[in-house]
Amino acid sequence: MTVINHHTRLVGLIGWPVAHSLSPAMHNAAFDARGMNWVYLPLAVRPGNEYSIGQAIQGLRALNFVGANVTVPHKEAVHSHLDALSKRANEIGAVNTISIRNNLIEGDNTDADGFLADLAENRIDAAGQQALIFGAGGSARAIAVALAKAGASRVTIAGRNEARVASLVSALAPGIANTEVVSVATATDLSAALGKAYLIVNCTPAGMSGQWEQSLPAEAATLRFGPGQVVYDLVYNPRKTRLINLATEQGAIGVDGLGMLVHQGALSFRIWTGTTPPIQVMRDAALDCLENMT
């Protein structure tokens, strides 16, 4: 058990909300397993105010944090408050990991690689396949780039905010040469894209424990799945979201977001500490925490 003192090194999670997150339990278990005097803290930052997120980022530097994770809805908003971006973060256009070295705040992104690691673990091969993403935020950006790296032939972006979806497609398309990136504008187009997709990924908070728990990323009547399709929900709390239950009832394979959480967190751990992450310890801690929340 870490004894907090003047030697304790600090990292945390910037987002809103953060009460549902398994990241503090996961990382603190990893630090304990490695015998490191580190602590990971939840850092709730209310959205809708650029001043607030800017102050939060500068606060990390002022308080001698080593770094932080960034989650919804701040993954894109943090950009203008950082000193530098890694190649991955610049390519994706979103940040989920911040590191602070020599007073320099750098943004990185481990979401795409964490997602690909979990696809491999679940033996899901997107090469040559069509995929559909619900959402147009920072997570959707990372997943689209990851699917292009995995060799997907087409990635379709769907969301309730048409302007934001169109903006994301315009931003991604030039940098993804071998994967077609398109959007859908109508329910008919969405149904057609769903029918052709091998992999469907929910990158919205729909289904998350709390105010969104009973929601879906699209109208229920539109969501038709079948055998041979994989429905991957980035939501991990609860693990059986309404979307996954709907997919499995219709014969599709449902995969929750816990594996991606663990893998992206392990990559962040490596960035901050420079040491090998205890992945199984992190997974076990996340599962234990999730069970205690229910």
Question: Would residue 95 be called left, alpha or beta, if left means φ above 0 and alpha means ψ between -120 and 50 degrees?
Answer: beta
Does residue 89 sit within a domain? Answer: yes
In the prediction, which pLDDT does 177 show?
A: 79
Does residue 1 sit within a domain? Answer: no
Start-to-end C-alpha separation, the chain: 25
pTM of the predicted structure, to 2 decimals: 0.95
Residue 84 in tokens: 């530098």
Is residue 239 domain-shared with residue 161, that is, in the same domain? yes
Tell me the pairing of strands 180-183 and 154-158.
parallel
In the prediction, which pLDDT does 131 show?
A: 98
Is residue 136 domain-shared with residue 195, that is, in the same domain? yes
Does residue 2 sit within a domain? Answer: no
Residue 258 in tokens: 């816990």
Is residue 136 domain-shared with residue 252, that is, in the same domain? yes
Distance CA 53, CA 59 (A): 10
Is residue 117 domain-shared with residue 248, that is, in the same domain? yes
In the prediction, which pLDDT does 1 show?
A: 58
| Contacts of residue 285, Cβ cutoff 8 Å, sequence gap at least 6 | 22, 25, 26, 28, 29, 30
Does residue 129 sit within a domain? Answer: yes
Mean pLDDT by 10-residue block, N- to C-terminus, for the chain (294 residues)?
87 93 97 97 88 92 97 93 96 96 97 98 97 96 96 95 91 85 91 97 93 90 96 95 97 98 98 98 97 79
Bridge partners, residue 158, by sequence: 134
User: Does residue 87 carry a catalytic annotation?
Assistant: no
CATH number of residue 119's parent domain: 3.40.50.720
φ/ψ of residue 48, rounded to 5: 90, 5
Is residue 152 domain-shared with residue 121, that is, in the same domain? yes
Instruction: List pLDDT tens digits, range 250-268.
Output: 999 999 999 999 999 999 9
Bridge partners, residue 42, by sequence: 13
Is residue 68 domain-shared with residue 184, that is, in the same domain? no
CATH number of residue 35's parent domain: 3.40.50.10860
**What is residue 127's three-state secondary structure?**
coil
Of 3, 14, 2, 21, which is closest to residue 63 (Cα–Cα)? 14
Is residue 116 domain-shared with residue 249, that is, in the same domain? yes
Angle subtended by helix axes 258-273 and 23-33, to nearest 10 = 50
Domain containing 212 equals 112-256
Does residue 193 sit within a domain? Answer: yes
Is residue 96 domain-shared with residue 169, that is, in the same domain? no
Is 116 within 8 Å of 149 (Cβ atoms)?
Answer: yes
Bridge partners, residue 182, by sequence: 156
How many structural domains compose the chain?
2
Cα torsion angle, 283, 286, 292, 294, sign: negative
Does residue 235 sit within a domain? Answer: yes
Is residue 96 domain-shared with residue 179, that is, in the same domain? no
Residue 109 in tokens: 């992104």
Residue 202: CB atoms within 10 A of its CB come to 27
**What is residue 56's three-state secondary structure?**
helix
Of 73, 10, 84, 83, which is closest to residue 45 (Cα–Cα)? 73
In the prediction, which pLDDT does 28 show?
A: 98
Bridge partners, residue 156, by sequence: 132, 182
